[in-house]
Amino acid sequence: KNEVEQSPQNLTAQEGEFITINCSYSVGISALHWLQQHPGGGIVSLFMLSSGKKKHGRLIATINIQEKHSSLHITASHPRDSAVYICAGSSYNTDKLIFGTGTRLQVFP
């Protein structure tokens, strides 16, 4: 069993739909990161959180420390949101990231 699990692995949506990607982890972490990777490889950090909820534009990330679970929500999805979304945990006193397997999102017009 992977230390960081994501679901679903693949997700298709129509433009405008509300999207949720889930992440569960079984190890102790100091922070949970949500990353976005577009075709071509570049990775962008969307959120880093250790508690509660963060919002940036149409993206919302939440984390429940007790349940070791985090969610990434996209409101009013758009085709440009099509990408792979990756959650990762960082351990204490290190930047080392432990990655989930990623969720491939495709949003159709």
Partner 1 sequence: KAGVTQTPRYLIKTRGQQVTLSCSPISGHRSVSWYQQTPGQGLQFLFEYFSETQRNKGNFPGRFSGRQFSNSRSEMNVSTLELGDSALYLCASSAGLAGGYNEQFFGPGTRLTVL
Residue position matching structure tokens 């792979």: 84
Of 88 and 105, which CB lies nearer to partner 1 in the complex structure? 88
Q: How far is the CB of 77 from partner 1 (least distance, A)?
A: 23
| CB-CB contact of 27 with 20 (8 Å) | no
Q: How far is the CB of 76 from partner 1 (least distance, A)?
A: 25
- Tell me if 27 contacts partner 1 by CB under 8 A: no
92 is written with which tokens? 């204490």
Sites of contact with partner 1 (CB under 8 A): 29-31, 33, 35, 41-45, 48, 50, 86, 88, 90-99, 101-102
